[in-house]
Amino acid sequence: MRAECRCPEGEMVALLHHIAGKHCWRASKEFTLVIKCGHLRISRKDQNEIVWVENGSPAHVALEEVITNKKLLKDLAKLTEFDNTGELESYHSLMTIYALKREHFCYNAMVARTQLAVLDHNANVNRAQAEVKKGSKQGKKRFKIVCGKQRKNWVAKEIKTPKSYSYVEGMMNDVILCKKGKKFKYKPKIQAKCIAPTPKPPKQDVIEKRLSNKQK
């Protein structure tokens, strides 16, 4: 049962009405956004044949205690938008190819390397799954098996089609045009030696201020 409004707390409370065979109700003081179920209209025949949980029965009361738990409802906002971070981790792995962690890069180099990683990622993020080209299994999707680091079990993962770097040719053409002076030349941003919001005070003043605070 999915309620009409994307309100996790309201949807949970709406479940109490749904299992009792009630699909439209008045708004309560706590939850006013969800006042009916989000599913299609149930026919009178199905309404009569489905075994609903009687409102006020021990089973209904027990479920109500769980669903209306304030701590659970408070945590729903953090649980309902959960998503796997696999794609983000994949991007971070790609980023280390362009900007090695063990090497130091200046600001401008880091910006350029990050941009290259983004171009690579965006150009290949939606690659299709590779297929077997020859033999009796021709046309079937290709997989590889890897051992998971967390659960230590073997799982099947899709093998993607080869990467495309078609965008590189355009970049190389722009480099040639820049060399000939026909393209805008990038002016590196000069970083300030001190990025603090206020000017640096004399060292002795700061030391004296700290010592005076300790004496207090």
Give residue-wise pLDDT tens across range 117-161.
Answer: 999 999 999 999 999 999 888 999 999 998 877 777 888 989 999
Residues 96, 63 share a domain: no
Residue 171 has which token pair?
């970049």
**Does one domain contain both 74 and 98?**
no
- Counting other chains too, the contacts that 68-75 makes at CB distance below 8 Å and 24 or more residues apart are 68/13, 68/16, 72/12, 73/8, 73/9, 73/12
The tens digit of pLDDT for each residue in 77-107 reads: 777 666 778 888 999 999 999 999 999 998 8
For residue 186, pLDDT beyond 70: no
Identify whether residues 65 and 102 lie together within a single domain.
no
Neighbours of 34 (CB within 10 A): 23
Residue at 137 is within a domain: no
Residue 166 lies in a domain: yes
Q: Please report whether residue 162 resides in a domain.
A: yes
Do 94 and 38 share a structural domain?
no
Rounded mean pLDDT of 1-28?
72
Q: Are residues 59 and 92 in the same domain?
A: no
| Structural domain that includes position 158 | 85-128+143-180
Q: How many domains does the chain have?
A: 2
- How far is it, in rounded angstroms, from Cα 61 to Cα 70? 16
Q: Is residue 124 part of a domain?
A: yes
Q: Nearest-CA neighbor of 167 among 125, 124, 112?
A: 124
pLDDT at site 1: 45
Closest CA to 108 of 190, 183, 174, 196: 190
Whether residues 51 and 114 fall in one domain: no
**90 in the same domain as 70:** no
91 and 156 housed in the same domain: yes
Distance in angstroms (rounded) separating the CA atoms of residues 18 and 24: 9
Q: Which pTM does this prediction carry?
A: 0.52
Tell me the backbone φ, ψ of residue 93, rounded to 5 degrees: -65, -40
Does residue 35 sit in the same domain as residue 106?
no
Buried b (16+ CB within 10 A) or exposed e, 87-123: eeeeeeebbeebeeeeeeeeeeeeebbeebbeebeee
Q: Is residue 186 part of a domain?
A: no
Task: Answer with the one of 60, 80, 100 that is the final residue of a domain.
Answer: 80
103 and 64 in a single domain? The answer is no
Residue 196 lies in a domain: no
- Structure tokens given for 121: 């990622």
Whether residues 76 and 90 share a domain: the answer is no
Query: 36-45, 128-137, 167-176: which has the minimum mean pLDDT?
Result: 36-45
DSSP state of 125: T
Q: Is residue 3 part of a domain?
A: no
Please count the other Cβ atoms lying within 10 Å of the Cβ belonging to residue 127: 13
Averaged pLDDT score across all residues of the chain: 84
Question: For 174, what's the count of Cα atoms within 13 Å in the CB-facing half-sphere?
Answer: 8
Answer yes or no: is 42 within a domain: yes
Q: Is the pLDDT of residue 2 over 50?
A: no
